[in-house]
Amino acid sequence: MDPAVPLPLAPLLLCRAADSAKDWAILHGVAMRTKEEPNSSDVVNFAPFLLLPSPVPRALFDQAKAVQRDFNLLVHRLSQDTDFLTSCLKSTIQVDDFTCRLFRIYEQVRREGVAQPVCLGLHRSDYMLDDPGRSGQENGEPVAKQPRLDQLQLKQIEINCIASSFGGLGTQMPGLHRLVLRLCGASRFTADQHLPQNRAMSSVAGGLAAAWELYGEQSAIIVFVVQEENRNAMDQRWLEFGAMDRNPSIRVRRYSLTEIHARGELRPDKTLLVDGLEVAVAYFRAGYIPTDYPTEQEWKARLNIEQSKAIKCPCISYHLAGTKKVQQELAQPGVLEQFLEDPAAVARVRATFAGQYTLELGAQGDRTVQMVMSDPGRFVMKPQREGGGNNIFGDDIPAALNNMADPKERTAYVVMDRICPAVVSNYMVRPGRDPALTEAVSELGIFGVFIGKGNEVVLNQEGGHLLRTKPSSTEDGGVASGNALLDSPYLI
């Protein structure tokens, strides 16, 4: 696809635009802590970003926004279906210790009785723009060919149900790109026509505030459950301060799972206290990877949160609903209809699915293995993990399967068709480096805000967007891991 302005930029214009954009980013809070001081805000730098907004067909952007409320409802309904979750994960939990520990918490909470029926979902559904008319690979990398816009398809990478990040920083990116486009000679009208407003921060903060109000105790706090090392605190602060702006009675505290274990208390009436303060909402920005649970203390803290009457974001059933195995099962014929009675909603959701295949032991799983072995470049193998950097691509898949000591180990993974994303040229701006003109691919995320109480839908809305872009040679990983950069969609 053609970039937002003709490239390359003249050297003087490039320097001026990059320097101005860096300063704009710092002035407007598009910032991250440094690798050297991940827990200190004394020294911060701008978050890496694309100098120009990346082109996204308007029709596909609108399609992604239109289906988000369907995904919100789908996650909630399947999370209430114990038989479905158990059936989906029964093989995975035999070989994946992390998913097994989460599932055991889920089972224990169900046996004891769910203390808090209200569920808060702050989801993000991530997509790429697939060009089915080409293989998209030369020497293992996407090919920079001009696709026909009417052939591009919106295909879902995953839906994130825990710690969906960059709603705060991403909201600021349209302003940065309006500045750059103006510096490159575009009119204000042109910039406004092509850059959609982004309300992700206000939507997510509004969801947190709404859940706090539903809890019904003015003195109770919202707890952000955070990682011990937290470079991405600024993104979280946008949401924290946004929630406090919504209601002056809201107070937010930040604790790691280790701190919650040491300073928390679960009372017999299921009230959760931390430092003596009642917790209304526990918002997880940690707890999605095994290293967040270095000892049994962190698992005990997670269990106590789930046992409490605090509103969780996500509750343990939402967390499990976001696993790759559940998403693979949803893509099978007839499954969506179990949870969505509206045929139009089923069609909207199914249209975004790429092919997904089971690795369960048995005939179906064996066929998947044979298919992958015969043409591995067409596929991605995914474990039950969030946070990026975990997937296995192309020729690495046969090696991974062959190196498994027990065939059962394959059931910890699912296989998905490899998406051939549209490629565009853009400048990558990173701290300490000159802007680099690079062939890049983008991933569009749509936030969703959902509050449910049993069968009752309290709130269901699409909540803004996020665009992240990475070099076309990079297989996996997000902004926090250093592989992707913040971006904005330039609607065409």
Catalytic sites, residue numbers: 124, 158, 160, 165, 324, 382, 386-387, 468
> Residue length, the chain?
492
Residue corresponding to tokens 């089915």: 132
Q: Report the Cα 162 to chain-centroid distance in Å.
A: 8
* Whole-angstrom distance, CA of residue 358 vs CA of residue 219: 48
Closest by Cα among 449, 447, 438 to 471: 438
Please count the other Cβ atoms lying within 10 Å of the Cβ belonging to residue 111. Answer: 7
Question: Starting from the edge strand earliest in sequence, which strands make up the sheet with 379-383, in order?
Answer: 356-357, 413-417, 379-383, 392-393
What is the torsion angle, in degrees rounded to the nearest 10, for the CA atoms of residue 465, residue 385, residue 300 and residue 94?
140
SS3 396: helix
- Which amino acid would we find at residue 241? F
Give yes or no for a contact between 384 and 102, defined as CB atoms under 8 angstroms apart.
Answer: no
Give yes or no for a contact between 248 and 190, defined as CB atoms under 8 angstroms apart.
Answer: no
Buried b (16+ CB within 10 A) or exposed e, 249-284: ebbbebbbbbbbbeebebeeebbbbbeebbbbbbbb
CA geometry: angle 333, 338, 341, nearest 5 deg: 110
- Which amino acid would we find at residue 336? L
* Whole-angstrom distance, CA of residue 369 vs CA of residue 376: 10
